[in-house]
Amino acid sequence: MGVAVAEVVLDAVGKVYADGTRAVDDLNLRIADGEFLVLVGPSGCGKTTALWMVAGLEDISEGEVRIGDRVVNDLPARDRDIAMVFQSYALYPHLDVFDNIAFGLRLRRLPSPEIEHRVAAAAGTLGLREHLRRRPRALSGGQRQRVAMGRAIVRRPSAFLMDEPLSNLDAKLRVRMRAEIARNSRRFGVTTLYVTHDQTEAMTLGDRVAVLKRGVLQQVAPPQELYDRPANMFVAGFIGSPPMNLVHGRFTERGTDLVLELGEQTLPILPPITAARIGPYLDRPVAVGIRPEDLADASLGRGRQVAVVRGTVDLTEVLGSDLIVHLTVPARSVVTDDVLELARDAGVDPLATGDDRTGLVARFSPRSRVGVGETVDVAVDTGRLHVFDLDTGLSIW
Ligand code: ATP
């Protein structure tokens, strides 16, 4: 459609509300031309505030927002050349699809043939051509979502801003609409800033994902990198489901071998994790992160298996594709405020098994036949362990 594209830059942006609440702190983000960037974080982390500052719906306390080559701090929302898609699509119930999409163009007094051309092109791309004469009431949730996108796209904005546009939909429709947003936004190629609290939405939609905690940016990276190399324990716990297990451990050398002490158990460690890589953290307590998907039922055998942890099965959850196994092992959980907060959000209790015994969550193959109360040998993919500084929470590599 030949829409204008532009870079959006947040340069040391901060927000302090009138009552003194600091919602956003020194936020630096550069959303490239045509990039889809997702801002994600738990409730209250400041993501909506950040988006509203870009939109012009909230004053910017500190720093600068640039859209294209313009500083927009003092520009009213309507002059910022952006389009917003909200949670509630805010369609006009008395107008049909054509008129809903055309609404903003009529306000701007574009000539009728131009309006018809733009609406037809958007409706074609969005698969709405047959529904142009229907009112919103006669559309499915997904179709309404597309009308909202159509209305935004015909204005040919420099950037799209989306604030949890899928949160009102049921789970199934949300998955379908997520795919549609991904497809359409790539087709349109418009710079997009998308806000959500849902890590799956963030991971599946974003070219890059920015993780925010209490107003402070924790990491911004492509989804796979966030998963493979979380910068700190917060990101490690936030990205991934079930969340990463975090336990107290200590790497130490036995002769020329590297081992990991987890409570009473000692695990042999092979490259790529080496004593040199552990560096100054050798022989010191660290937080060891193990993703549930890097734990397997040892009795089923597994290529990369180099270490085994013995545990007792507390609970199994059949997902069909996987078997989620909750285990107790004699090692201590890492329980920081972040871990507690994230665990609460995920509905798990990291303290459930007491101080020196830990609940580990594993994602086993559905072929596993483990039962509650049984002792089970769990193969740990030690090549995929994560290690964090216990005081700072930062990844040590
Ligand atoms: P959610 O996902 O729950 O919407 P969020 O990440 O979008 O959360 P914000 O709505 O941006 O978070 O809020 C960030 C912080 O700023 C919160 O602590 C919130 O209570 C606070 N806040 C928001 N609006 C105001 C306001 N008008 N005055 C004072 N504090 C506010």
What domains can be seen in the chain, in order of their start residue?
Answer: 8-237 (3.40.50.300), 238-388 (2.40.50.140)
| pTM reported for the whole predicted model | 0.88
Q: Nearest CA to 298 among 387, 380, 212, 384?
A: 380
In whole angstroms, give the CA distance from residue 397 to residue 274: 12
> Cα separation of 28 and 72, whole Å?
16
CB of 49 sitting under 6 A from ligand 1: yes
Q: Could you tell me where the beta strands, DSSP code E, fall in the chain?
A: 8-16, 22-31, 36-40, 62-67, 70-71, 82-85, 159-163, 191-196, 208-213, 216-221, 245-254, 257-262, 265-269, 285-290, 295-297, 307-318, 323-329, 358-364, 375-380, 386-388
- ipTM, interface predicted TM-score of the complex: 0.97
196 CB under 6 A from ligand 1? Answer: no
Q: Is the peptide bond before 222 cis (omega within 30 degrees of 0)?
A: no
Q: 218-266, pLDDT tens digit by residue?
A: 999 999 999 999 999 999 999 998 999 999 999 999 998 999 999 889 9
Burial class (CB in 10 A: 0-12, 13-18, 19+), 335: middle
Predicted confidence at residue 89, as pLDDT, reads 67
Q: Whose CA is nearest to atom 26 of ligand 1?
A: 17
**Tokens describing residue 322:** 């996987």
State both tokens at 17: 């509300």
Q: What is the DSSP letter of 299?
A: G
Confirm or reject: Cβ of 19 under 6 Å from ligand 1: yes
pLDDT given at position 357: 64
Length of the chain measured in residues: 397
Residue 164 CA to its chain's centroid (Å) = 12
Q: What is the CA(170)–ligand 1 centre distance, in A?
A: 25
Task: Please identify every stretch of the chain with a pLDDT value under 50, giving residue numbers as ranges.
Answer: 1-3, 353-354
* Ligand 1 pocket member 45 (CB < 6 A): yes
Return d(Cα 37, Cα 10) in angstroms, integer. Answer: 12
44 Cα–ligand 1 center, Å: 5
Q: Which amino acid is at 255?
A: G
Residue 353 is predicted with a pLDDT of: 46
**Cα–Cα distance, 113 to 159 (Å, whole number):** 25
pLDDT at 229: 96
Distance 257 CA to ligand 1 centre (A): 50
Are the C-beta atoms of residues 8 and 55 closer than 8 Å to each other? no
Res 304: pLDDT:
60
Instruction: Output the pLDDT for position 355.
Output: 54
Task: Calculate how far, in angstroms, residue 23's C-alpha sits from the geometric centre of ligand 1.
Answer: 6
Q: Which residue's CA is the closest to the ligand 1 atom numbered 27? A: 17
